[in-house]
Amino acid sequence: MRIEKPRGTRDFLPDEMEKRRNIEGIMRRIVESFGYREVSTPTFEHLELFTIKSGDEIIEEIYAFKDKSGRDLALRPELTAPVMRLFVNECFVMPKPLRFYYFANCFRYERPQKGRYREFWQFGVELIGSDTPESDAEVIILAYRIMEELSIDFSLHIGHVGLLRKVLHGVDEKERAMRFIDKKEWRELENFLERKGKGELFEKIMELSSSRSIEEAISVYPDFDYSHISKVLGILDSLGIDFKLDFGIARGLDYYTGMVFEIYGRGLGAQNQICGGGSYSLTGIFGKEDVPATGFAIGFDRVAEICNVDQEKTRKVVVIGFGDYSKATKVADVLRREGIPSVVDVMGRSVKKQLSFANSINADYAVFVGEEFKKGLVTVKNLNTGNQREIRFEELSSYIINGEI
Ligand code: ATP
Ligand code: MG
């Protein structure tokens, strides 16, 4: 009986895992260079962690279940709420700001399509305890540098949900309006605002979302303090960060408070959002005073789809013992300890078959361990060039590491 994997999930073969680990490594290196440190939270949480403030879209998508004791649990659909739970429970009094990052799988009951899965990975950061323009700018710069380093063709859009909320002030169910804006469902937004007797706001929102400068936004809607977002943009300008002002960004999650940003990648089709973030406050849901934070989540799978990182290849060796398994393993053992991946035949195959197997796994060298081994000699064959020579066993690993022969 063939058992399929669940809908919306994926298997990853070694080539793909190698690529993903490589990308992950680059992301880790960059966030760590900014002083962020990794945290990890449970795969499942109490359902209410996500229902309190995660927004309707995500709640509908939650994989929720009861455990055997009847507790309401959920597979995490995202990591900001779990990381803030961790912060409130374990790190509330630590010196601020805290700089955390995570890389983990998330689960959403969505309609699977290209770039949209039921299990997917997010790589994200949270900068906790500061609400200055400098901290907002830092988080944006970090996301930007990651995309740059991965040679992704992307565009960065920055907005402010505080402004949208101010414009929508007094509209009841305004989070629904925010959702329409997030999804760029302009007709639905217009109808919604008409129904609420606030049809005039539609024009304002359209004009704001097409404003390409703070000055333009001020002329459309003067009744807002633009100084924070101006300062953020000023910092980015000073670093040569390329962005588009976009007051049409609403974000799907309800907890954002101020600056918000999204990054879109080219080459992905409809699901082109590869990163979303902004400033928010979530500590209130845990009954604590407000602690401001800024963060982002990168859609790791979408990034992996469009980025081609140079794979650093470690040279791989096949050790052939002419039927003497223990001699071959002894040699492989030494090479492995030097950090050289080495494979020994475990199926009692002929030399010819071992060589063709070496080919099939893209090995770079074959090391023949024969009679001469008694005199401390082995024969190395470069499988890419065909060159072959006898060398002293002690020299073997340095030959391979240097790519000689
Ligand atoms: P979308 O509008 O594409 O549904 P979202 O607003 O729900 O995205 P966030 O909750 O902000 O996404 O999550 C951050 C990132 O995670 C997104 O920018 C996207 O790249 C990625 N992401 C979200 N949902 C999925 C999914 N089902 N499969 C793969 N990646 C996803
Ligand atoms: Mg979504």
Between the CA of 300 and the centroid of ligand 1 the distance, in Å, is: 9
Q: CA dist 402 to 314, 332, 395, 396, 405, Å?
A: 11, 17, 11, 10, 9
3-class secondary-structure state, position 315 = coil
| pLDDT tens figures, 166-210 | 999 999 988 899 999 999 999 999 999 999 999 999 999 999 999
The pLDDT value recorded for residue 128 is 98
Among protein residues, the one with the nearest Cα to ligand 1's atom 22 is 299
- Could you count the other beta carbons within 10 Å of the beta carbon of residue 178? 22
CATH 3.30.930.10-classified regions of the chain = 14-306
Q: Indicate the top mutation candidate among 27, 119, 271 to test ligand 1's pocket, ranked by most ligand atoms within 8 A of CB.
A: 271
Under the banding of pLDDT at 50, 70 and 90, the label for residue 405 is confident
> Rounded CA gap, 315 and 380, in Å?
13
Whether 392 has a pLDDT exceeding 90, the answer reads yes
Q: For residue 339, is pLDDT > 80?
A: yes
Distance from residue 178's CA to the centre of ligand 2 (Å): 14
Q: How many Å apart are CA 73 and CA 76, to the nearest integer? A: 9
Give the pLDDT confidence score for residue 52 in this predicted structure: 85
**Distance of CA 27 to CAs 24, 138, 142, 222, Å?**
5, 15, 10, 40
Q: For the chain, where do the domains classified as CATH 3.40.50.800 start and end?
A: 317-402
Cβ–ligand 1 distance for 301 under 6 Å, the answer yes
Is there an atom of ligand 1 within 6 Å of 81 CB? Answer: no
> What mean pLDDT is predicted for residues 353-359?
96
Confidence at residue 309, expressed as pLDDT on a 0 to 100 scale: 85
Does the pLDDT value for residue 121 go beyond 80? yes
Ligand number nearest to the C-alpha of 182: 1
Q: From the CB of 133, is ligand 1 less than 6 Å away?
A: no
Residue 308 clears pLDDT 90, i.e. is over it: no
Query: What pLDDT shows up at residue 257?
Result: 93
Instruction: With a cut of 90, say whether residue 133 has pLDDT above it.
Output: yes
pLDDT in tens, 4-34: 999 999 999 999 999 999 999 999 999 999 9
Q: Which amino acid is at 22?
A: N
Residue 311 has pLDDT above 80, yes or no: no
Tell whether ligand 1 has an atom less than 6 A from the beta carbon of residue 77.
Answer: no
Q: Per-residue pLDDT for 354 more than 90?
A: yes
Instruction: Convert the pLDDT of each residue in 198-254 to its tens digit.
Output: 999 999 999 999 999 999 999 999 999 999 999 999 999 999 999 999 999 998 777
- CA–CA distance, 157 with 276 (Å, rounded to integer): 10
- Answer whether the bond into residue 97 is a cis peptide, omega within 30°: yes
How remote is the CA of residue 46 from the centroid of ligand 2, in Å?
A: 21
pLDDT band at 312 (very low <50, low <70, confident <90, very high): confident
| H runs (alpha helix) in 198-264 | 199-209, 214-220, 227-238
Residue % of the chain over a pLDDT of 70: 100
Cα–Cα distance between 160 and 229 in angstroms, integer?
7
Establish whether residue 119 lines the binding site of ligand 1, counting it when its CB lies within 6 angstroms of any ligand atom. Answer: no
User: How far is the C-alpha of 126 from the C-alpha of 83, rounded, in Å?
Assistant: 8
In order of 151, 242, 388, the CA distances from 359 in angstroms are 32, 46, 16
Closest protein CA for atom 5 of ligand 1: 252
Query: What is the per-residue pLDDT for 304?
Result: 97
Mean pLDDT (the chain, rounded): 95
- What pLDDT score was predicted for residue 44? 98
CB of 305 closer than 6 angstroms to any ligand 1 atom: no
pLDDT value of position 357: 96
Most informative mutation of 63, 273, 274, 275 for ligand 1 (most atoms within 8 A of CB): 273
Burial readout 60-70 (b: 16 or more C-beta within 10 A, e: otherwise): ebbbeeeeeee
The dihedral through the CA atoms of 137, 139, 140, 141 has a sign that is positive
List C-alpha distances in Å: 160 to 167, 224, 232, 245, 278: 11, 11, 11, 9, 9
Strand 317-320 with 273-281, pairing: unpaired
CATH class, 317-402 region: alpha beta
CATH hierarchy code of domain 14-306: 3.30.930.10
